[in-house]
Amino acid sequence: MTTAPFDKAMPLGKGKLSHTAVYWIGFCAVMAVLIVAPLVLPIFWAKFLTEILIWGLLAMSSDLLIGYTGMISFGHSAFFGLGMYGAAGALLQTHPPNLWLAILAGLGGAAGAALFVAYFSTRLRDIYFAITTLIFSQIFYVIIFTWTAVTGGENGLIFTRPHFSLPFLVDMRFNVLTMHWFVLALVAGSYLLLRRITRSPFGMVLQSIRENEARTRAIGYPVERYKIVAVMLSGLFAGLAGVLYAVQNEFAAPDFVFFVTSGDTVIFNVIGGIGTLVGPIVGAGFFQLLRELMSRVFGEQFPYLIPLGFIFIAIIIFLPQGLLGFARRWLNR
Amino acid sequence: MLQFFQSFPLDLLLIQTVNGIVSGLILALVASGLTLIFGIMDVVNFAHGELFMLGAYLGVVVLATTGSFWLALIVATLIVAILGAAMQIVTLRPLIGRDPLNTILVTFGISLILQNFALWEFGPVARKLPEPITSYFTLFYLQYPWYRIVIAGLSAAIIGGFWLFLKYSKFGVWIRATTQDRVMAQAMGIPVPWVYTGVFAIGAAMAAASGVLFGPLGSINHTMGLDWVLKAFIVVVVGGMGNLGGSIAAAIFVSLLESYAAIWLDPSRAVIVSFVVLILTLLFRPTGLFVPTPK
């Protein structure tokens, strides 16, 4: 209490901006760069950037679990994949294909998968949670891979990209630029929403579960329910990433439901820095850039995952906070 | 109803029982390596399946150069054991005392490296190991290969030998002491870091040995590791965590169910049976099926 006037006087010295101001200026600067970037970049790199944003969204969704709740999910491919297939299904059923219906269907699919996974795997903790999410995502993979009549089996589903439409206002075809801006808008919106969630009372409870689950339970919070909601929220955002990926690439394939996608998601998080929300996007960018770079220098067949695996292990041992770990406290303030 | 029982393929059921027990014992060997590492070190070895795969590939290579399957079994097992020890020293030892979740991440990194190394070195085409014993005996109308019975026996023998090792040898006593109380064991002069290294090497050796033994039954490719580590994870969860006896029982149980399901279902879908067992276990008995009820 006695320090209150002191605090008020101190941090706002002459010429110094408050934390909030710096944060929003930084946010706007990054947004401005991301908005302008596709105008300057060649088409390939513009698409590449869009894809990084989508992978970043997937990684961010999983950060809600890894970084804020302390549960490692090795099953995010299931949510991502269900989002993809949900969107594909909706686009193939409706004439003309409707973007918003696709998003709705993808989110619905991801939510269903998330409910299923959350209900069962939150019964277990730590390592067992990680293992069961992995096993559940494989269940979805086996179903999608073998149910050829509905999912197209190994070949997946191919469709045409829907138009961007708002009733009575616009109806236009996506091009590389507008697709990028659309993805950017959704990813930035998701980021702000996730940031709001992690700073809300609900997010605080999640972080207290991460720090000390037994004590959180003892205080009287229904930990299981919080975990289920956390997994479902995370699944929804992962599903949105799946929808965007499907719309961007005009297909849904079983490969993306396979474990590799979940593994990549975990790598993005660890490289970028868990518990920062921004870090996973940076991690996704780092991963994709390195991969592109290596396949250009050493050829397509080069096993880029070997050097990336070494980097990944080195980061866990020597830099456990990830690339953006130094900014973690600042970003969450 | 009566018709159903009359049409019940009793002979097929018996054949599948034998099949289930054989594959169950291989799975038990894989899973007991995993359980051992987990029970003692609190490390979930995500790379366990890749060690299995590496064992099988090394078996192919050694067999091609020496021509002896049994030599291949021993050499591959030893090489993978040394590799396991090196992995533990380089990557897991710095993590002792950190959140155990870090270990699953690191071993996941190792599995990535090993899997892509195998793809790079051996190519995407599946390899085969020839059976060392080619004689058959008659099981109903079927010529059943002796080799399967031999593997089942060998797997059981390795597990049994390991149990004796834990029970009577000096290193085994060290391992059990470390499991019970790491700090106390250290205080009594047991070199705990080396116990960890040894345990990891033994676990890796068990994975490699089962890889070579399984080789002749299926095809060897760089992605087989994930299938096996998944199965082993299921078995470890169903059997009760870190519990050796439970894992062995669960391995045989799950494999039996899968091979019965293969009578009526397509084999690629029979896998779902083990998923269902896992879900039911999580629902009704999350501590594991084959352990005494916790008080």
Question: pLDDT, tens digit, for every residue of A87-131?
Answer: 998 888 887 788 888 899 999 999 999 998 898 888 777 777 888
Q: Complex ipTM, two decimals?
A: 0.84
In a mutational test of the A interface, the residue from B45, B90, B105, B241 whose CB has the highest number of chain A CBs within 10 Å is B105
C-alpha closest to that of A106 among A133, A79, A137, A138:
A79
How far is the C-alpha of A204 from the C-alpha of A193, rounded, in Å? 15
C-alpha closest to that of B235 among B220, B250, B256:
B250
State how far residue B111 is from chain A, nearest Cα, in angstroms: 9
**Residue in the block written with tokens 């390596």:** B33
Pick from B100, B106, B113: which is nearest to A126 by CB?
A: B100
**Residues in chain B with pLDDT < 50?**
none
Q: How many CB pairs under 8 A join A and B?
A: 98
Which residues on chain A are in Cβ contact (under 8 Å) with B282? 120-121, 123-124, 132
How far is the C-alpha of B274 from the C-alpha of B280, rounded, in Å? 10
How far is the C-alpha of A159 from the C-alpha of A253, rounded, in Å? 12
pLDDT for A14 equals: 53
* Helix, coil or strand: residue B105: helix
pLDDT for A5 equals: 45
φ, ψ of residue B44 to 5 degrees: the values are -90, 115
C-alpha closest to that of A101 among A175, A167, A189:
A167
How far is the C-alpha of B97 from the C-alpha of B94, rounded, in Å? 9
pLDDT for B5 equals: 59
Residue B237, token pair as written in the block: 């969860």
Are residues A305 and B112, on separate chains, in Cβ contact within 8 Å? yes
Asked if residues B52 and B206 have their Cβ atoms less than 8 Å apart, the reply is no
Asked if residues B25 and B157 have their Cβ atoms less than 8 Å apart, the reply is no
C-alpha closest to that of A184 among A41, A34, A284, A48:
A34
User: How many residues would you count in chain B?
Assistant: 295
How far is the C-alpha of B95 from the C-alpha of B232, rounded, in Å? 24
For A218-227, A229-238, B263-272, which range has the lowest pLDDT when averaged over its residues?
B263-272
Pick from B120, B279, B282: which is nearest to A303 by CB?
A: B120
How far is the C-alpha of B253 from the C-alpha of B263, rounded, in Å? 16
What's the whole-model pTM score? Answer: 0.86
pLDDT for B82 equals: 95
Which residues on chain A are in Cβ contact (under 8 Å) with B88? none
How far is the C-alpha of A18 from the C-alpha of A16, rounded, in Å? 7
Asked if residues A266 and A126 have their Cβ atoms less than 8 Å apart, the reply is no
How far is the C-alpha of A248 from the C-alpha of A235, rounded, in Å? 20
**Per-residue pLDDT band at A1 (split at 50, 70, 90):** very low
For A242-246, A278-282, B220-224, B237-241, which range has the lowest pLDDT when averaged over its residues?
B237-241
C-alpha closest to that of A281 among A265, A293, A292:
A265
Consecutive H or E run containing A166: strand A164-166
Burial category of A225 from C-beta neighbours within 10 Å (exposed 0-12, middle 13-18, buried 19 and up): exposed
φ, ψ of residue A221 to 5 degrees: the values are -80, 135
Burial category of B127 from C-beta neighbours within 10 Å (exposed 0-12, middle 13-18, buried 19 and up): middle
Residue A204 half-sphere exposure toward CB, CA atoms < 13 A: 4
How far is the C-alpha of A52 from the C-alpha of A46, rounded, in Å? 10
Q: How do strand A170-172 and strand A164-166 relate by DSSP bridges?
A: antiparallel
φ, ψ of residue A164 to 5 degrees: the values are -85, 115
Are residues B109 and A134, on separate chains, in Cβ contact within 8 Å? no
How far is the C-alpha of A112 from the C-alpha of B198, rounded, in Å? 44
State how far residue B280 is from chain A, nearest Cα, in angstroms: 10
Consecutive H or E run containing A164: strand A164-166
- Top pLDDT among A51 and A152 is at A51
Q: Is the pLDDT reported for residue A2 higher than 50?
A: no
Burial category of A296 from C-beta neighbours within 10 Å (exposed 0-12, middle 13-18, buried 19 and up): exposed
Q: Is the pLDDT reported for residue A10 higher than 60?
A: no
